[in-house]
Amino acid sequence: MPLVDHHCHGVVPGDLDRRSFEGFITEGFEPAPEGGSHFDSPVGLAIRRWCAPVLELPPLASPDEYLTRRAELGAEEANRRFLRAAGLEALLVETGHLAAELLEPAAMGALAAAPAHRVTRLETVAEAVARQGVDAAAYPDAFAQALDEAAAGAVGLKTVIAYRGGFGLDPTRPSTGEVVDAAGRWLSKRGAPRLDDPVLLRHGIWTGADLARRRRVPLQIHAGYGDPDLTLHLVNPSLLTDLVRALGELGVTVVFLHCYPYHREAAYLAAVFPHVYFDVGLALHHTGPSAVRVLAEAMELAPFTKQLYSSDAYALAEFHYLGAVAFRRGLAAILDDWVRRAECSAADADRIAELLGRANAHRIYLSSG
Ligand SMILES: [Zn+2]
């Protein structure tokens, strides 16, 4: 079954030395402890087990053998192999983080031999507006206009408020006066300011919500697991319930990304709010041999019409492939078990796989035009 990877990032186009490669297989910022390696992890095992054969190595080849072979083939060939082997029907590429160092959606689509669509990150647009220079009074309109332009042709918007203080913020729409005051404080900072002001983050979400409603595109919200820029307990999607309610009243589709270890909370929100969707994203590759259990937990409660597949792959094409492998294998194991126990028919299982793997993503991103 071809998959729609509804949330991923570009890959690094060039060759990577061991240190850089290992830097990308952890969500942490630091090298492994003395004497160890980031391959000593569930995701390290998954790379050795599932990615090595794509490079014509035996399963569980050593990290040294793996990286030597990857270098021999070259990054471009390795990237192409993994993206082709992922078996994608379409991919949605978020371009908001270190875009200059990663391949653009069009190049990703060429590697994957599948259409690639863009998702625009709200905070990156706000930071670009600040860099270009704008008066505080003009900021609200300048941001709305810049977002409109940046998101031309995008199939979704994304917010990373998870990385900017978490979900404890006031969910209401700030007044123009509050936004201008906050913009005055923010824009007076030197250099290229990172958007971390709570009022401006809220303003970003609400401006994004207006655009999402007009264009009929979903708003993606990073939740749960990620790099140490976030504080894990503050990114439980349940903390955003009031915002979720308000976005529902506005008619905006919300997609919680990744969510681990709060995928059960996300599944609950998806079960009770008709406009809420979710995935387990990078948890599929980072949990390696346990990915099937994470996927099974996500499927305990969530309606089959509300869960999506994504790899959340970033920088390494291994992850675009590993996500697809873990998702297909996990889903097959779970559904086979359900069929074996006569909890569902083979036809039910096919339909569930179709919904999670591609049809839900088509419905919310690719069919409204
Ligand atoms: Zn991501």
For residue 257, the CA-to-ligand 1 centroid distance in Å is 8
- First-to-last CA distance in the chain? 24
For residue 136, the CA-to-ligand 1 centroid distance in Å is 30
| Residue 112 buriedness (CB in 10 A; 0-12 / 13-18 / 19+) | buried
59 contacts 48 by C-beta, under 8 angstroms: yes
For residue 319, the CA-to-ligand 1 centroid distance in Å is 11
For residue 255, the CA-to-ligand 1 centroid distance in Å is 12
pLDDT at 100: 80
315 contacts 284 by C-beta, under 8 angstroms: no
Greatest C-alpha distance within the chain: 64
For residue 106, the CA-to-ligand 1 centroid distance in Å is 18
Neighbour tally for 300: CB within 10 Å: 11
pLDDT tens per residue across span 203-222: 999 999 999 999 999 999 99
For residue 105, the CA-to-ligand 1 centroid distance in Å is 14
For residue 347, the CA-to-ligand 1 centroid distance in Å is 33
DSSP 238: G
pLDDT at 98: 79
Name the pTM for this structure.
0.96
The packing angle between helices 317-340 and 346-354, to 10°, is: 160
* Cα 301 to Cα 310: distance, rounded to the nearest angstrom: 19
Q: Convert 328-367 to b/e letters by CB count within 10 Å (16 or more is b).
A: bebbeebbeebbeeeeeeeeebeebbebbbbbbbeebbbe
* Cα 188 to Cα 293: distance, rounded to the nearest angstrom: 48
For residue 310, the CA-to-ligand 1 centroid distance in Å is 9
Q: Which long-range contacts (C-beta less than 8 Å, at least 24 apart) are formed by 190-198? A: 192/127, 192/130, 192/131, 193/127, 193/130, 194/127, 194/164, 195/123, 195/126, 195/127, 195/130, 195/164, 196/164, 196/165, 198/165, 198/169, 198/170
For residue 51, the CA-to-ligand 1 centroid distance in Å is 21
Neighbour tally for 85: CB within 10 Å: 18
For residue 112, the CA-to-ligand 1 centroid distance in Å is 18
For residue 102, the CA-to-ligand 1 centroid distance in Å is 13
127 contacts 189 by C-beta, under 8 angstroms: no
For residue 357, the CA-to-ligand 1 centroid distance in Å is 18
For residue 312, the CA-to-ligand 1 centroid distance in Å is 5
For residue 279, the CA-to-ligand 1 centroid distance in Å is 11
- Single-letter amino acid, residue 139: Y
2 contacts 87 by C-beta, under 8 angstroms: yes
Kindly list the distances between the CA atom of residue 322 and the CA atoms of 124, 133, 286, 287, 316, in Å, as whole numbers in the listed order. Answer: 28, 42, 9, 11, 10
DSSP 104: -
For residue 91, the CA-to-ligand 1 centroid distance in Å is 13
Q: Which residues of the chain have pLDDT under 50?
A: 369
pLDDT at 369: 43
C-alpha 210, offset from chain centre: 22
pLDDT at 368: 55
For residue 160, the CA-to-ligand 1 centroid distance in Å is 9
For residue 9, the CA-to-ligand 1 centroid distance in Å is 6
For residue 137, the CA-to-ligand 1 centroid distance in Å is 32
For residue 337, the CA-to-ligand 1 centroid distance in Å is 31
Which residues does 81 contact at the CB level (< 8 Å), separation at least 6? 54, 55, 73, 317
Which residues does 330 contact at the CB level (< 8 Å), separation at least 6? 284, 291, 292, 294, 295, 296
